[in-house]
Chain A
Amino acid sequence: MSVAFDEKVHKTLADANLQLAIYRATGRLIDHRKHAVAATALPDYQELRTQANALKRHTIEHLDHYLEQFEANLTAHGGKAIYCQDATEVADFVLGLAKERGAHLIVKSKSMTTEEIDLNERLEHHNLESVETDLGEYILQLAHQRPYHIVAPALHLTRYDVGDLFARTLGVANETVVERQALIARAVLRQKFLAADIGISGANFLVADSGAVLLVENEGNARLTTSAPKIHIAVAGIEKLIPRAQDLAVFLKLLGRSATGQALTVYTSFLSGPRRAGEIDGPEEFYVVLLDNGRTKLLADPGKRESLYCIRCGACLNHCPVYRKIGGHSFPWVYSGPIGAIITPQFMGIEHEPSLPFASSLCGACAEVCPVKIDIPKVLLELRAEVKQAEERKGANRLERLAFKIWAWVMCHPRIYEMAAMAAASVAPAENGKWLRSAPAVMNLPPVRAWLSQRDLPPAPAKSFRELWRKR
């Protein structure tokens, strides 16, 4: 485990208020989802999951075809597809367009893909003002933090944190009533919407047969972002494609329910190109950035390709016993929880945070609630194997190998195992649950210390299992 990861985990575990906030928020989301997908509310839930998985599998297996189909239909409706390989290419495209059009102010709706490429920072570096407009994302931008959760980005902050933050950054009175805080944000952001030159959104789905971008949201900020400014740019990972508009009937029924327990989010926008002749309002220019940024690396691996099926509902985070303890900011990248644990190493390389695939109990809750049926535990196991193989190539884990060899040998020799157990029991005090940790000689070995930092051997029982068994 890297020092940074270890430190963040321990800091989160020690913060009682934060523990409560994470537990409450995820617990509520679990509850809402449970009711929304219950057999009485959605009788064909399992069939919909199967269909969603089949659709995603088909699209990903033929992604080149659907990218070209999407591009052709988008172009036919007057939009433009911009292929980008990485963060720099996206920033260069936006900067170039802003310069050509004399644009200064950008409004943004929530998008994990733009978080992934630090788009705001890159644009602000070139003196463009880029304002997040989702309430949670706006708070985080003012606080210079990254999202804590895919769906509930500011779940770790209290209304008192927000009151202080607004007072400090916006020069308003310290307001701790949430309704009034929302009104403050509404007033500031409404002016930004009406003055903005460019709106940047993400995309929940790209619809190939329509050349359309689909967005779901509850606040209306994505509608404003895509309707008010003269230019709309949607930034989407290439894996967001689905074949047909009609397939939305499947995905929309799953996405809102899995994320927040809503049958449909308040707003669902299906956008295909700029304003057409006769239409009264809407953007005059419409661009869709199709971003690779490591996705084709992942695509090349048939065993783990399914990681790209993800529709970012966040259900796996809420149901993960590890996420619920260590929170979102312990994870090394913008994607947290089980889905973050499988896509981060594949996007960034396993050397980026090699302990990430091990930060899981493999309980399988994530796979059970995934609306597109990604087998996250299977992918985690494959990644663990890769990490170990890489270490072996470097000859890095000799000590661990030796320890397990000795362990295996002892376990294969019952007499010796029994003697070792008796020896251990003779030094172990019967009451102390931290006995190994209180032995300084043991704790001086760094790998042993790391292992024991969160656990210990239980106190020795009066009689061993083997003794009891023999007496039967």
Chain B
Amino acid sequence: MSREATLNKVRTALGRSAGQGIAAPPPVRLRVEAHLEAHLEAHLEAHLEAIDMEARIASMLRAVEALAGKSRRAATGEDARSYVGAVLDGRSAVASNAPFLRECGVVDLAGVQSGFTDAAALRALCATAEVGITSADYALADTGTLVMLASPAEARLISLLPPVHIAVVPKERVLSGLDELFTILPHPAAQTSSMVLITGPSRTADIEQILVRGVHGPGEIHVVVVG
């Protein structure tokens, strides 16, 4: 009832009729390197070989540190595993089902629980675990951002409920920024119900503009770029 009433009011206000066509919207504005625009995901690998990956990774690590996050370059999965082990230092952790975490052997570390497919069990564990470990679908080098798509491999709460979040990301996943992300992923909704961009630790400045970290989400974030 209110649907028709609202739509009719909108049409009347605009002088339009139901089902009337529209003028073309302004063209999409994404600034990426020309050959990426042309080839999109099919040639992502070739594109990544052509760009200066090292400069990009350096920017990612720098941006994370600038946000008061911790960042680490790991040459191999084994290196990543030992870094995560050192951060955990015996604390309890819950890890996502991301295949990359398994590849690196992170899920085999002492105190790490993984392999959850049941929402209630996962939630109960996330509410008490001291550390959450995930991978990331992408990372954005210019802002130090992790891009997390909800899937059977990645649950939402692991990067949210525990006070510490560690993300272990293969270097191929580091993109330059938002423009490249939305070029590669023009329709996130086709893949997932939830895409979350995480840029640094949770923070607030609601009282006297004094910065406090970890008010609801993790106050400590570690980004490990592997490769």
Q: B2 near A227 (CB under 8 angstroms)?
A: no
Contacts of B119 in A (CB 8 A): 280-281
* Residues 109-148 (chain B) with a chain A CB within 8 angstroms: 116-119, 122-123, 127, 142-143, 145
Q: A244 near B2 (CB under 8 angstroms)?
A: no
| A290-B6, A292-B6 given; A280·B152 CB < 8 A | yes
Contacts of B201 in A (CB 8 A): 266
The yes or no answer to A105 lying at the interface (CB within 8 A) is no
Of chain A, the residue at the smallest CB distance from B155 is A280
Q: A252 near B178 (CB under 8 angstroms)?
A: yes
Of A269-277, A351-359, A388-396, the one contacting chain B is A269-277
Contacts of A25 in B (CB 8 A): 209
Contacts of B9 in A (CB 8 A): 292, 296
CB distance from B156 to the nearest CB of A (A): 5
The yes or no answer to B200 lying at the interface (CB within 8 A) is yes
Of chain A, the residue at the smallest CB distance from B201 is A266
Which one of A28, A61, A220 has the greatest number of beta carbons of chain B within 10 Å? A220
Which one of B178, B182, B204, B218 has the greatest number of beta carbons of chain A within 10 Å? B204
Contact with B along A29-71 (1 / 0, CB 8 A): 0000000000000001001100100110011011111011000
CB distance from A291 to the nearest CB of B (A): 9
Contacts of A262 in B (CB 8 A): 199
Of B22-30, B40-48, B72-80, the one contacting chain A is B22-30
The yes or no answer to B216 lying at the interface (CB within 8 A) is yes
Q: B14 near A64 (CB under 8 angstroms)?
A: yes
Contacts of A186 in B (CB 8 A): 214-216
| Of B118, B143, B202, B209, the contact of A220 (CB 8 Å cutoff) | B202
The yes or no answer to A117 lying at the interface (CB within 8 A) is no
Q: A152 near B209 (CB under 8 angstroms)?
A: yes
Contacts of B196 in A (CB 8 A): 223, 267-270
The yes or no answer to A384 lying at the interface (CB within 8 A) is no
Interface magnitude class on chain B: 35 or more
The yes or no answer to B91 lying at the interface (CB within 8 A) is no
Contacts of A311 in B (CB 8 A): none
Q: How far is the CA of A47 from the CA of B29 in the complex (A)?
A: 10
Contacts of A321 in B (CB 8 A): none
A-B contacts counted at CB < 8 A amount to 261
The yes or no answer to A402 lying at the interface (CB within 8 A) is no
Q: A224 near B182 (CB under 8 angstroms)?
A: no
The yes or no answer to A456 lying at the interface (CB within 8 A) is no
Q: A282 near B28 (CB under 8 angstroms)?
A: no
| Of A21, A212, A250, A300, the contact of B189 (CB 8 Å cutoff) | A212
Q: B204 near A54 (CB under 8 angstroms)?
A: no
| A54-B26, A85-B6, A299-B14 given; A280·B203 CB < 8 A | no
The yes or no answer to B85 lying at the interface (CB within 8 A) is no
Q: A282 near B193 (CB under 8 angstroms)?
A: yes
Contacts of A279 in B (CB 8 A): 150-152, 155, 192-194
Q: How far is the CA of A139 from the CA of B215 in the complex (A)?
A: 14
The yes or no answer to B87 lying at the interface (CB within 8 A) is no
Of chain B, the residue at the smallest CB distance from A134 is B206
The yes or no answer to A116 lying at the interface (CB within 8 A) is no
Which one of A47, A58, A270, A276 has the greatest number of beta carbons of chain B within 10 Å? A270
The yes or no answer to B198 lying at the interface (CB within 8 A) is yes
Contacts of A267 in B (CB 8 A): 196-199, 202, 217
Q: How far is the CA of A190 from the CA of B217 in the complex (A)?
A: 10
Q: A296 near B10 (CB under 8 angstroms)?
A: yes
Of A177-185, A336-344, A370-378, A440-448, the one contacting chain B is A177-185
Known interface pairs A64-B16, A220-B202, A223-B196; 19 further A-B residue pairs with C-beta atoms within 8 A, sorted by A's residue number: A62-B16, A64-B18, A65-B20, A153-B206, A182-B214, A220-B217, A245-B182, A246-B30, A246-B183, A247-B28, A266-B200, A266-B201, A266-B203, A267-B198, A275-B150, A278-B152, A279-B152, A280-B116, A280-B156
Residues on B close to A: CB < 8 A? 2-3, 5-7, 9-14, 16, 18, 20, 22-23, 25-26, 28-31, 97, 116-119, 122-123, 127, 142-143, 145, 150-152, 155-157, 160, 178-179, 181-183, 186-189, 192-210, 212, 214-218
Sampled A-B contacts (15; CB under 8 Å):
A44-B31, A63-B14, A64-B7, A67-B10, A73-B189, A135-B215, A212-B188, A218-B205, A219-B215, A219-B216, A266-B199, A267-B198, A267-B199, A267-B217, A268-B197
